[in-house]
Amino acid sequence: GESVGLHLPTLSVQEGDNSIINCAYSNSASDYFIWYKQESGKGPQFIIDIRSNMDKRQGQRVTVLLNKTVKHLSLQIAATQPGDSAVYFCAEKAYQGAQKLVFGQGTRLTINP
């Protein structure tokens, strides 16, 4: 994805609702995808990952879905809590064995009480 500079897409949800954060990628050869959470003043924190040979993976309160046909990745957070407020980034590795992460556009998740 491309950065939109200072104007991050924003998602506001009610506490307790489910959140869905989307990410589009352009490289059909990308082998591996990761979601990171970044709180203000902190570095990105690993949430969940998925290989390109999978279409769904579940963690604790989080699910990642991968649709390779349309090159789309989503992160679902169940029962959103105030502590989930952060900027969420998807990242990819361009090919098997690639080391550097290529980050997509972030989404700011805000939780309303």
Q: Which residues in this chain contact other proteins in the complex, by CB under 8 A?
A: 3-8, 31-32, 34, 36, 41-46, 49, 51, 89, 91, 93, 95-106
- Amino acid letter, 25: Y
* SS3 at position 84: helix
Give me the least distance between CB of 68 and other proteins, in Å please: 16
- C-beta of 31 vs 63, nearer to other proteins: 31
Give me the least distance between CB of 56 and other proteins, in Å please: 17
Q: How far apart are CA 110 and CA 39, in angstroms?
A: 11
- C-beta of 10 vs 14, nearer to other proteins: 10
Q: How far apart are CA 42 and CA 39, in angstroms?
A: 5
Q: What tokens were used for 28?
A: 């059909």
